[in-house]
Structure 1
């Protein structure tokens, strides 16, 4: 059974120069208990997808087309009142900046308790607090730190508190948007292990958004690679990272330097950002592609099935070209 199914989702932002097509014709799905990673450079549309799934797009943004089916309901048609019933309860988000996500003048346990009380107004105060302690124990924050204010927490503990807030109502889907970006590598590793452990224990579906290839490969079983507002390659982790086929995926992985290599390192260059306002024919990556031909500028590429679970948005002959040719 599919928990979430997104079909042909397009999201645009109004600007003085025109509509910015930040997400274009994106389709994907996720099963209960699975983990799906979105990876790509800044500005490719990853976070916009996450905000659309949460119903938190800013005022100048809107869903231009497409459907978001969650548990049989189309979230693309939801009104504010309908969103309030599921946001924080069935779908939650771990935001990027933990430093800014907590109210500095309210004790941490009270902030977690508020989430539970909003969605379970009939729950007794003692039961709410028992749930708060249970969640804090799950993310390994000592019980004697429950009554602290956010400024008394380290960066890693703040991030754990944000994870606790996201898990307070045992959601079916958690969206993690760059949850470890501001942390040092040691704390980052601890948080990633925590997320994987909790996801497995609660059997929660996870969408993990990051520009860090290594992090996504560590956390997620299924991968979507994004460029220019589109998914350009998707499949299982082993397929996408061990046998990348789209020229952008190859360039992205090629830019990830390895200290183990004794060969001369040639980092691929991606000079041009795609124009997300002027919607023209052709491939968004054409200006940077080392394998391009004239049709990449004149024709719109389609999906090529590389296996039963592996696809790339390109032309078949381009996918088969060697970038060293």
Structure 2
């Protein structure tokens, strides 16, 4: 039957049935169903199911039995450096959703499940790109005009593999998942997470979609996938981490200006409740540091050209609504400007 899935126990009979690499499950049923029925009828007539059973290898047939390589559940883990387009599509048909190890977020506490991206099939394979386009295996490519997903990934044989969609795994192992208003005591680095907040600004009800991106260097090549169609950028740092404010100038602003040129920027200081926390002050003192002051953050805001500097605390909820409201106003203003630029010729 199926050359990769059915390889269990003794082989009683065997016939060759080449499977086209791009066949769908329906194609396989149409092709292999009648063949299986004929083999079953033939087996009943010839008595191959009557004990003692005879292995096909000892049946005297001139055809050598071939054991297909088994596809196991652990084969959901994609290795883009080795997997061809056919391997991706075959495993998607057999196993269902596949996942990519390069999208793991490393957790800082073993009570939290690591996150990863699951790819939803079916996959579509596109031919190799022109010579001037990089097709390194595992490198994502933005597809702004593609209807089903926003990116494709190069396979080992130079095919651009486009999944039907993606989902993100990862939540606490015990207890209920925190809602969008709760404060998590354990930090879990994100991959791509989106939240929707209902905000009322100037008498208008607005649904604000927030994309929380991965900050780790491991995801530098994946992070730009979340930038298209953005209307406002929030660059966040932690008040209890002066290094994170340094990163705003040394890393984040250059990336934002490259991928999101012209969008309004809001600088946000998170964890403002820790500015006067004695334990935090003592820990920073060990490295000759202090919590970030509003004046220091305001200086950085001016340097990077951000429209506004805001502070908030997810723990006390202070300032959170103000951040959402200012982000919404900035996003609405961006959309108005885009409409004004529209020209009909």
TM bin (shorter chain): under 0.3
TM-score by length of 1: 0.24
TM-score by length of 2: 0.23
Q: Which fold has the larger relative contact order, with Cα–Cα distance below 8 Å and residues 6 or more apart in sequence?
A: 1
